[in-house]
Chains A and B, each alone.
Chain A
Amino acid sequence: MLAALRAAPGPASAAWVQEELGCALAYTTVVTILTRLLAKGAVTRERAGRSFVWTPTADQADLAALRMRKVLDGEQDRQAVLASFVTGLLPQDERMLRELLDQAGEAEE
């Protein structure tokens, strides 16, 4: 249901969702599920004419991720500002790192 809503180009009506899901559910069932999702905070609804249109809210986190990526990609010298867990690898680092991890793995066994 949420996947169908996310696939929608904008706020979608319950009828649109029902159609998208392929008629396996009755219209009233779709509305009931949407209302339950609303109670959980996973969707929001707005009145549009006589019925409601529904939007998923789970995108808050997705939106935050997009915005954060923008910050990280846009800032060339972000290492100087935000301490990152790992910095980039130099060309020869990868092989060296794999050898080290292999050694660490063998030490375990």
Chain B
Amino acid sequence: MGVFVFLPLVLPLTAWPVARLAEQHLHPRTATWLLSAAAGVLALCSTLCLALLVVVGTAQLPGNPLPDGWSDPEVRAAVPYDEVAGKAAIAALILVLGSCARAVRRHRGVRVRARRALEGLPAGPVAVLPDGVAYAYALPGRRPRIVVSSGMLGTLTAAERRALFAHERSHLARRHHRFLLAVQLAARANPFLRPLRTAVSYTTERWADEEAAQAVGSRRTVALAIGRAALVSAGTPGVGHAGLAGFGGSAGLAGFATAGPVPRRVAALLAPAPAGRVWPPVFTAVGLAAWGAAAGTAASALSSANSAVTLFLILHAATPL
């Protein structure tokens, strides 16, 4: 398997260009699917290769439960720098699995606690909480709910409120929380996938914005609702400056290259609607980036499959029957 076992660990880098370009040049729905799928496959391949390295590394440890034949020179020859790589992989895999388990537990925890917080309120798709602090959340689950504070509703006009609810309903209907969880786990499996997580958390918001704009029939209303809500939330504690790092920029939106996600969303809504095509034309920057990411993902899948099969055959041959 040679160097192929290391490739999937660095191939996530091939998705960086598209993570940077997709948010401005692709329809948010396309961008979300593309980036999430790439992140998922790249993360799985990366973790599989890490696990293969761990097998080779563990076999060298004294007193390990694996068959003795697995530490033979023929097996070790399959992995370059087997001693260092094997031991580093053990630590890395433990970190990855621990981090993913923590993420899943926290994800569940927040949802359970949010659901418990709403106990005792009349059942319904919308829970309005008497709170001066402006916030609105989509709470996924078997009975999905929209949680919105009276502070948030108070700052918006009737049309803007409709835009807010349409936005949150879109989050729930399209199950955006699944995309977000997937890219979050992927980013923990391989830190090179973090830009994809940042990009997807933005494109899901844009996706919901676009659907809200369609539902209320006015892009401007949605833009105003987001802008007003953000300005009100900015002054309140708890919501804080936990914004995602701004990145990206194009000729048309050059001024927003360093802006956070909220001004970019507002600017995108004040601009014409994005084209709904599924795959970008090849000979554009974003087209090349998308194909680059697709090629990187395919290479990652092939490399890890090749490594897995090779190691299986080597270990099979090295196991005394």
Contacts and interface: CB of A to CB of B under 8 A. Distances in A.
Contacts of B204: 83
Given A61-B121, A87-B243, A93-B263, A80 B223 contact: no
Interface stretch (A13-21, A32-40, A42-50, A67-75): A67-75
A60 B121 contact: yes
A82 B130 contact: no
Given A85-B167, A97-B227, A79 B242 contact: yes
B149 A89 contact: no
Contact of A89 (B121, B243, B258): B243
B110 A100 contact: no
Contacts of A92: 258-259
Nearest to A90: B260
Interface residues of A, number: 42
B106 to A, nearest CB: 7
Nearest to A77: B106
A86 interface: yes
Given A87-B261, A104-B270, A108-B220, A65 B129 contact: yes
A88 B234 CA distance: 6
B110 A85 contact: no
A54 B53 CA distance: 68
Chain A contact residues: helix, strand, loop or mixed: helix
B230 A89 contact: yes
Interface stretch (B13-21, B67-75, B133-141, B280-288): B133-141
A94 B233 CA distance: 11
Contact of B201 (A72, A79, A91): A79
A77 B242 CA distance: 8
Nearest to A74: B113
Given A61-B130, A86-B233, A81 B176 contact: no
B107 interface: yes
A30 to B, nearest CB: 26
A94 B234 contact: yes
A92 B263 CA distance: 10
A8 to B, nearest CB: 19
B49 interface: no
B196 interface: no
Contacts of A76: 242
Contacts of B227: 97, 100-101, 104
B266 A82 contact: no
A86 B114 contact: no
Contact of B234 (A63, A81, A84, A89): A89
Given A69-B238, A104-B220, A83 B131 contact: no
A62 interface: yes
B50 interface: no
Nearest to A103: B270
A75 B131 contact: no
A107 B258 CA distance: 25
B226 interface: yes
Interface of A: 60-65, 67-73, 75-94, 96-98, 100-101, 103-104, 107-108
Given A69-B133, A88-B239, 17 more contacts: A65-B149, A67-B117, A70-B117, A71-B114, A71-B117, A77-B106, A79-B244, A81-B106, A83-B208, A86-B229, A87-B230, A87-B242, A88-B234, A88-B240, A94-B231, A100-B223, A104-B227
22 contacts: A61-B121, A61-B129, A64-B121, A77-B106, A79-B244, A81-B180, A83-B168, A83-B204, A84-B135, A85-B137, A86-B230, A88-B233, A88-B240, A89-B233, A89-B234, A90-B243, A90-B259, A97-B231, A100-B223, A100-B227, A100-B263, A104-B223
